[in-house]
Structure 1
Amino acid sequence: MRLWHLTVAILVLGIVLSVVRDPVGRVALIVFVTAFGEAALGLTAVMALFQTIGAIGMARGLLDHAEAVAATTLVLVAATAIMSFWLFMGAWLIQATVP
Structure 2
Amino acid sequence: MRGDELFELVDALLCADGPVTSPVDLTLVAEHRRGHGAMYEALSCGNVDVPRLRQVLAGLPMPRAADGRLVLAVDVSNWLRPDAPTSADRLFCHVYGRSGRSSDQFIPG
Is TM > 0.5 for Structure 1 vs Structure 2?
no
Per residue, is there more helix in 1 or in 2? Answer: 1
Per residue, is there more strand in 1 or in 2? Answer: 2
Scaled to the shorter chain, the TM-score interval is under 0.3
Larger Rg: 2
TM-score by length of 1: 0.24
TM-score by length of 2: 0.23
